[in-house]
């Protein structure tokens, strides 16, 4: 089943990727009257109707057939089976408690309508009817919608067949989608439906390289823990990016490979999502991140309020009066909604759908029934995730208030404080109203005074017992504290004569990268030492939110629109206008602040806007990622700027139609620098960094290191030799030193400090293996952005003779793939191949056939050379089948994610398929071909019993000499094998022992030993 699915999916791929609405036009465009006539002959069968189509997600399953179907849906007597198939697939998936139920869809059954569109007279699919005709029928039956944002319709075209792939397209503005599935498997159906109304993308990878990458709900370009959009779901111990290994199969992390891209694009689970995470068709479930999306998205498309009473939302009373209020609403199953009632901001009831309220004391009341869905499917983390919130509001005005109390007045009363400790107690000044009062502070506190707060901006809402409310703000500015800074300077330093000497190893920061590092080392004084860095980190006070409603907007044709998933249900649609949006941003002290712009919904290729602070335009621009139209979710763009204490004018200025839809601006209200205790520092900006070192006798020494700013440089090949037992650089560059590492450079997102194994022109390795060397300019402290990889081998394993496989004779070589020779010209590549997809890795043995494979190139892996990785690489087809081979030579690495029994080629699975338990054996005796059982297997130069030898799970040289030539042809790759290949050679005969040993030595020198050293 899996195999067939993978194949059919391939056929639909191009359709899927473009989210295109275009289908193949079979018989030209249908006319209006043809569409009417066709609808006349068809029947729209209501199967599960929960409400008005204009306020539901409507899924319409349409019968189709092709002549290949055994029992096609093309005669009136098939109607019963068609309806039954829908009930047993989509309806079952939407039914909570059913064993076929699909989280999160089954929680929201009442948000969906399910129909069957029964067209027994339909022509064969694509021979008289096609997607374009279906779209026209759909639009005729369901459009236009009664309200903006509400309602959705997806036509799901289904032939009567169990297996097959699918494709989907959608138009988010029109709120329509179409999907074709070959078969009624629930996972496949919901995969395609999720593409449409949920606008969730595919999570698998393909050979496609040209599509652009942009963050969506379930795809991210970031893997840094504090930036990734689903960070609330990631355990602190899960590494990022998350290795594609079996131990992380049930974890949520950042796995590389998403939305057709093999690299630099991340998904949340290794293989745990019907959207195609990692391997296609491996699960019938959605990942938690996609479930979160479904749980939020249904509230954007469906207004849950069925009715509310009184219907009139503006009520006038005359004196004291009791009124009954009620809200009838759609609920999920299980019901995770929380209903709260607020009168003038004070919560008066929860958990009830109706209540009676007595009015009369004062003139104006606002009653709000607030419904939030606090489902465990959502982990709130605005703007990426938040509980859906729906409100019903009544205004009650009273022409004859009965209370004699004077108006409630609240001011920022008194600030009691200790200027030395910088902690204050805020006491609102209150007069009038009717006690007791209740308090709601912006910090969340409900106390009458706010105690022990630092510099910052604090708001409080005070409500009296008769529902009068007043709001006031406390602005605790740093300058109001007087001369507090000098008080900190009182620390004594003992004048002991033991002197601490500090030595700093500094790496410069590259221009615009903030990737400098410093490591301190000490002598003198009395160890242990502790290091305190001054102003090492900033700590920010609570965020203040600035909505577009409070902005000065100078844009033509802008509009403030309503959408539940926006922070206060509204956002600013700039409509591509030129101009600016500005806010008065208040901060309690001067310093550098991150300005977060929460945005979404631009159908443009990413843009940069200018930002100006108090009339001065910043040099740096703020970058907005490419997004699909609004409904793919909100994103955050951040720029750090200097704000002065008090109120600042912060303006986002368009730079050629560059402002997206803005939900809000978010800025902390205060900033405080913190010190940090640490010997090594990374990710440093250029500039001065002060420190204090203290030894165990409390002697201290203060100092400053300067991290220079440099332009990046790269190093080319470095020649290495064995010099007196050490690995040494041949002809080291003057003015440079070398740093020796166990790992390659981390690329663009440096997250961890990695101490070099050695610094200098040589290093003594402690074991065989791969190492990396970087060069550092002694003067500028600039370190090469790249590291040159090399392998250290054991001199004792060196054999005198190495045989290049070409010496075995090209006529014997049936296939030869070499990752260091991608173009297959017989020589090591002299061009640089970047990390990522390689569509045409050429067989170097057969210039005539020119077989080639699709692979993911991973540079600098083995002895400085790249390898071909096949983790989540899809099927690749060979131009010409390879047969009649007897000796298989591989430099390869098995993966814990490869499916048992698989190898790179489907035709070789029986000969060298991965065992079920690699800790025990390389192959499984019970399902391996007798040609291997009766042949010979060599691992790293030694003959082994492959059924009793553990798989090293690391790069090794494996030779399988079959008993006789294989008749199992190699014509396509497996797709479910996830290991890596450095080189593989298939030979049509047995090798003599001296030939085999010579080839092994050749491969050892090539892949495992740049330098041999004695251990
Ligand atoms: Zn997913």
Tokens 């390689």 found at: 838
Q: For residue 565, what pLDDT band results from cuts at 50, 70 and 90?
A: confident
Is pLDDT above 90 for 598?
yes
DSSP class of residue 859 equals E
Q: Is residue 290 part of a domain?
A: no
**Range of weakest confidence among 700-704, 738-742, 849-853, 997-1001:** 849-853
How many A from CA of 626 to the centre of ligand 1?
20
Ligand 1 center from residue 200 Cα (angstroms): 8
Of 973, 977, 976, 937, nearest to 957 by C-alpha is 937
One domain for residues 535 and 388: no
What is the separation, in whole angstroms, between the first and last Cα of the chain? Answer: 52
Residues 35 and 140 both lie in one domain: yes
Long-range CB contacts for residues 463-466, cutoff 8 Å, separation at least 24 = 463/344, 463/345, 463/346, 463/437, 463/438, 464/405, 464/408, 464/433, 464/434, 464/435, 464/436, 464/437, 465/433, 465/434, 465/435, 465/436, 465/437, 466/361, 466/362, 466/403, 466/405, 466/433, 466/434
**Separation of 869 CA from ligand 1 center, angstroms?**
23
Q: Compute, in angstroms, the gap from residue 24 CA to the centroid of ligand 1.
A: 29
Enter the tokens of residue 44. 């729209």
Shared domain for 60 and 102, answered yes or no, is: yes
| Ligand 1 ion local residues (Cβ < 5 A) | 218, 273, 275, 287, 290
Q: How far is the CA of 220 from the centre of ligand 1 (A)?
A: 12
Distance between Cα 251 and ligand 1 center (Å) = 13
Domain at 660, CATH number: 2.60.120.260
How many angstroms separate the alpha carbon of residue 23 from the centre of ligand 1?
27
Are residues 68 and 124 both part of a single domain? yes
Residues 38, 187, single domain; the answer is yes
* Mean pLDDT value of segment 881-886: 94
414 and 470 belong to one structural domain? yes
More confident residue, 75 or 544: 544
Nearest to 939 by CA among 927, 928, 947: 947
Query: Ligand 1 centroid vs 962 CA: distance in angstroms?
Result: 43
Q: Tell me if residue 215 falls in helix, strand or coil.
A: coil
Burial code (b: 16+ CB inside 10 Å, e: under 16) for 867-885 equals bbbbbbbbbbebeeebbeb
Closest to 1015 in 3D by CA, of 583, 780, 722, 748: 722
Residue with tokens 């591509």: 576
Choose the final residue of a domain: 773, 794, 815: 794
Full domain range(s) for residue 462: 409-481
Do residues 362 and 295 touch, judged by C-beta distance below 8 A? no
Q: Judge whether 257 lies within some domain.
A: no
Mean pLDDT is highest, among 33-47, 537-551, 616-630, 883-897, for 883-897
User: For position 385, which CATH number holds?
Assistant: 2.60.40
pLDDT of residue 278: 79
Of 167, 196, 225, the last residue of a domain is 196
Cα(203) to centroid(ligand 1), Å:
7
Burial class (CB in 10 A: 0-12, 13-18, 19+), 409: middle
Average pLDDT of the chain to the nearest whole number: 88
Total domains in the chain come to 7
- Cα(272) to centroid(ligand 1), Å: 7
Residues 993 and 506: their CA atoms lie apart, in Å, by: 53
Convert the pLDDT of each residue in 671-726 to its tens digit. Answer: 988 888 888 888 888 999 999 999 888 888 999 999 999 999 999 989 999 999 99
φ/ψ (deg, to 5) at 111? -95, -5
Element at 85 (helix H, strand E):
helix 79-86
Ligand 1 mean position, distance from CA 100 (Å): 18
Q: Are residues 925 and 1002 in the same domain?
A: yes
The answer to the question of residue 234 being in a domain is no
Are 614 and 679 contained in the same domain?
no
The residues facing 667 across adjacent strands are 544
What are the backbone angles phi and psi of residue 152, rounded to the nearest 5°?
-155, 145
Got the DSSP string for 764-796? Answer: --SSSEEEEEEEEETTT--B-SS-EEEEEEEGG
284 CA → ligand 1 middle, Å: 11
Ranges 241-245, 525-529, 848-852: which has the least confidence: 848-852
pLDDT-wise least confident of 369-373, 391-395, 410-414, 840-844 = 410-414
Query: What is residue 588's predicted lDDT score, i.e. its pLDDT?
Result: 94
For strand 762-763 and strand 726-729, is the pairing parallel, antiparallel, or unpaired? antiparallel
Whether residue 687 is found in the same domain as residue 742: no
Residue 224 forms part of a structural domain: no
Q: Given CA atoms 248, 252, 253, 258 in this order, what sign does their dihedral have?
A: positive
Does residue 469 carry a pLDDT above 50? yes
**How far apart, in whole angstroms, are the C-alpha atoms of residue 388 and residue 662?**
19
254 Cα to the center of ligand 1, angstroms? 12
Residue 12 lies in a domain: yes
What would the pLDDT profile of 120-172 be if each residue is shown by its tens digit? 878 777 777 788 888 899 999 999 999 888 999 999 988 776 666 677 788 88
Collapsing DSSP to helix, strand or coil, 514 comes out as coil
**CATH number, domain containing residue 523:** 2.60.40.1080
- pLDDT at res. 24: 36
Per the domain annotation, does 457 fall within a domain?
yes
738 and 850, same domain (yes or no): no
Ligand 1 center–CA 218 separation, angstroms: 6
Assigned token pair, 883: 């047969």
Q: Report residue 281's pLDDT band, with 50, 70 and 90 as the boundaries.
A: low
Q: How far is the CA of 391 from the centre of ligand 1 (A)?
A: 30
Q: How far is the CA of 201 from the centre of ligand 1 (A)?
A: 8
Q: Which of 20-29, 402-411, 682-691, 718-727 has the lowest mean pLDDT?
A: 20-29
pLDDT at 218 over 60: yes
Ligand 1 centroid distance, CA of 260 (Å): 14
How far apart (Å, rounded) are the C-alpha atoms in residues 418 and 425?
Answer: 9
Kindly state whether residues 6 and 73 are assigned to the same domain: yes
CA 290 to ligand 1 centroid distance, Å: 4
**What does the chain come to in residues?**
1015
Distance 267 CA to ligand 1 centre (A): 8
In a domain, 282, yes or no: no
pLDDT value at residue 989: 95
- Assigned domain for 294 exists: no
Q: How far is the CA of 497 from the centre of ligand 1 (A)?
A: 64
**Among 196, 231, 261, which residue terminates a domain?**
196
Ligand 1: centre distance to CA 107 (Å): 17
Q: Which of 656, 669, 324, 710 is nearest to 506 (CA)?
A: 710
Query: Tell me, what's the pLDDT at 794?
Result: 96
**Pair 694, 750 in one domain:** no
Task: Reply yes or no on whether the pLDDT at 228 is more than 60.
Answer: yes
Segment 328-361, tens digit of pLDDT: 999 999 999 999 999 999 999 999 999 999 999 9
């Amino acid at each position: 089943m899996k195999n067939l699915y993978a194949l059919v999916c391939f056929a639909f791929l191009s359709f899927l990727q473009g989210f295109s609405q275009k289908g193949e036009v079979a018989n030209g465009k249908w006319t209006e009257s043809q569409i009417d006539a066709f609808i006349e002959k068809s029947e729209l069968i209501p199967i599960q109707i929960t409400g008005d189509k204009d306020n539901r997600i409507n899924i319409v399953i349409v019968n189709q057939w092709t002549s290949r179907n055994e029992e096609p849906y093309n005669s009136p007597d098939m109607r019963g089976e068609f309806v039954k198939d829908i009930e047993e697939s989509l309806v079952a998936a939407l039914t909570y408690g059913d064993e076929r139920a699909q989280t999160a869809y089954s929680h929201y059954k009442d948000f969906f309508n399910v129909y069957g569109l029964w067209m027994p007279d339909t022509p064969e699919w694509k021979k008289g009817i096609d997607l374009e005709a279906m779209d026209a029928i759909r639009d005729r039956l369901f459009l236009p919608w009664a309200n903006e944002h509400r309602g959705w319709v997806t036509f799901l075209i289904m032939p009567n067949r169990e297996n097959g792939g699918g494709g989907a397209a959608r138009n988010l503005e029109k709120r329509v989608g179409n999907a074709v599935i070959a078969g009624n498997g629930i996972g496949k159906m919901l995969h395609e439906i999720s593409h449409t109304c949920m606008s969730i993308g595919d999570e698998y990878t393909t050979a496609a390289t040209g599509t652009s990458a942009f963050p969506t709900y379930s795809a991210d370009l970031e893997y840094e823990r504090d930036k990734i959009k689903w960070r609330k779901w990631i355990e602190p111990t899960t590494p990022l990016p998350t290795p594609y290994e079996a131990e992380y199969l049930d974890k949520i992390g950042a796995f590389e490979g998403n939305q057709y891209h093999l690299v630099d694009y991340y998904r949340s689970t290794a293989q745990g999502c019907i959207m195609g995470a990692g391997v296609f068709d491996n699960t019938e479930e959605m990942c938690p991140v996609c479930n979160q999306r479904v749980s939020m998205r249904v509230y954007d498309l469906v207004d849950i309020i069925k009715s509310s009473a009184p219907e009139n939302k503006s009520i006038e009373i005359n004196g004291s009066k009791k009124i009954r209020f009620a809200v009838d609403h759609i609920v999920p199953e299980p019901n995770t909604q929380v209903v709260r009632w607020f009168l003038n901001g004070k919560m008066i009831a929860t958990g009830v759908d109706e209540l009676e309220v007595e009015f009369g004391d004062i003139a104006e009341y606002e009653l709000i029934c607030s419904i939030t869905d606090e489902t465990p499917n959502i982990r709130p983390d605005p703007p990426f995730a938040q509980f859906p919130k729906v409100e019903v509001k009544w205004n009650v005005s009273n022409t004859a208030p009965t209370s004699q109390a004077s108006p409630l007045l609240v001011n920022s009363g008194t600030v009691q404080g200790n200027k030395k400790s910088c902690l204050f107690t805020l006491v609102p000044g209150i007069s009038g109203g009717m006690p007791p009062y209740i308090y709601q502070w912006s910090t969340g506190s409900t106390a009458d005074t706010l105690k022990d707060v630092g510099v910052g901006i604090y708001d409080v809402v005070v409500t009296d017992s008769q529902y009068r409310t007043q709001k006031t703000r406390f602005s605790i500015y740093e300058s109001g504290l007087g001369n507090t800074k000098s008080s900190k300077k009182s620390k004594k330093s003992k004048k002991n004569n033991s002197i601490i000497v500090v030595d700093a190893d500094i790496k410069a920061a590259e221009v615009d990268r903030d990737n400098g590092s410093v490591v301190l080392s000490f002598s003198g004084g009395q160890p242990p030492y502790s290091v305190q860095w001054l102003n090492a980190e900033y700590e920010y006070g609570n965020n203040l939110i600035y909505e577009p409603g409070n902005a000065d907007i100078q844009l033509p044709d802008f509009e403030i629109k309503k959408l539940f998933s926006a922070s206060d249900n509204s956002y600013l649609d700039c409509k591509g206008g030129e101009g600016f949006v500005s806010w008065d941003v208040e901060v309690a002290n001067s310093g550098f602040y991150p300005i977060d712009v929460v945005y979404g919904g631009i159908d443009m290729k990413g843009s940069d806007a200018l930002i100006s602070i108090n009339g001065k335009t910043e040099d740096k621009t703020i970058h907005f990622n490419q997004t699909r139209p609004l409904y793919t979710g909100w994103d955050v763009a951040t720029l750090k700027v200097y704000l002065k204490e008090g109120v600042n004018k912060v303006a986002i200025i368009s730079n050629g139609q560059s402002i997206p839809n803005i939900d809000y601006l978010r800025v902390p209200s205060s900033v405080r620098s913190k010190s940090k205790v640490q010997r090594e520092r990374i990710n440093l900006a250029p500039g001065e960094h002060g420190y204090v070192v203290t030894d165990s006798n409390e002697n201290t020494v203060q100092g400053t290191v300067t991290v220079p700013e440099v332009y990046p440089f790269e190093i080319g090949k470095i020649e290495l030799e064995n010099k007196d037992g050490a690995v040494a650089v041949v002809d080291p560059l003057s003015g440079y030193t070398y740093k020796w590492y166990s790992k390659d450079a981390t690329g663009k997102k440096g997250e961890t400090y990695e101490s070099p194994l050695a610094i200098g022109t040589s290093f003594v390795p402690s074991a065989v293996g791969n190492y990396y060397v970087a060069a550092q300019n002694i003067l500028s402290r600039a370190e090469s952005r790249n590291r040159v990889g090399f392998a250290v081998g054991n001199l004792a394993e060196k054999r005198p003779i190495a045989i290049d496989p070409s010496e075995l004779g090209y006529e014997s070589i049936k296939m030869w793939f070499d990752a260091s020779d991608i173009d297959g010209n017989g020589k090591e590549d002299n061009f640089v191949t970047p990390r990522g997809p390689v569509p045409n890795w050429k067989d170097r043995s057969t210039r005539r056939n020119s077989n080639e494979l699709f692979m993911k190139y991973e540079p600098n892996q083995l002895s400085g050379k790249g390898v071909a990785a096949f983790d989540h690489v899809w099927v690749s087809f060979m131009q010409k089948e390879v047969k009649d081979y007897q000796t298989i030579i591989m430099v390869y690495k098995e993966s814990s994610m490869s499916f048992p029994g698989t190898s790179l080629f489907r035709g070789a699975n029986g000969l060298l398929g991965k065992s079920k338990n690699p800790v025990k054996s390389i192959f499984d005796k019970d399902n391996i071909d007798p040609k291997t059982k009766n042949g010979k297997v060599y691992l790293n130069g030694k003959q082994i019993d492959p059924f009793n030898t553990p798989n090293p799970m690391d790069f090794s040289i494996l030779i399988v000499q079959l008993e006789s030539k294989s008749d199992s042809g190699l014509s396509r790759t497996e797709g479910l094998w996830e290991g890596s290949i450095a080189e593989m050679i298939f030979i049509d005969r047995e090798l003599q022992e001296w030939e085999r040993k010579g080839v092994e030595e050749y491969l050892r020198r090539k892949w495992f030993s740049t330098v041999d050293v004695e251990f």
